[in-house]
Amino acid sequence: MDRLPADVAARVRLPLRALASDPRPPGVKRLVGADFWRIRFGDLRIVYMIDDGARMVRIERVVRRAESSYRRLR
């Protein structure tokens, strides 16, 4: 979160906290060929991993829709 611009960090705070109680909300997509999941939030994409055993969600990236860098996570 520290590396995100302040306006972006403020916008994603709510959906990130929601992942703690429901890591697979409606609209979530699993990235093909990877253990990553992606949710859309406006023009942003939040890419994350779920560790069900440890009950943990690890955020990998928050990117704008126009950026395709989350596809390189595979």
pLDDT given at position 22: 93
| CB-CB contact of 61 with 3 (8 Å) | no
How many domains, in total, are found in the chain?
A: 1
**Which residues form the domain of 40?**
6-68
pLDDT in tens, 2-35: 888 888 888 888 888 999 899 999 999 999 888 8
Instruction: Identify whether 34 is part of a domain.
Output: yes
Beta-carbon neighbour count of residue 28 at 10 Å?
Answer: 16
Helices (H), the chain: 6-21
**Maximum Cα–Cα distance across the chain:** 33
CATH code at position 15: 3.30.2310.20
Residue 13 within a domain: yes
Which tens digits make up the pLDDT trace of 34-45? 889 999 988 889
Residue 15 domain-assigned (yes or no) = yes
Strand, helix or coil for residue 40: strand
Residue 74 domain-assigned (yes or no): no
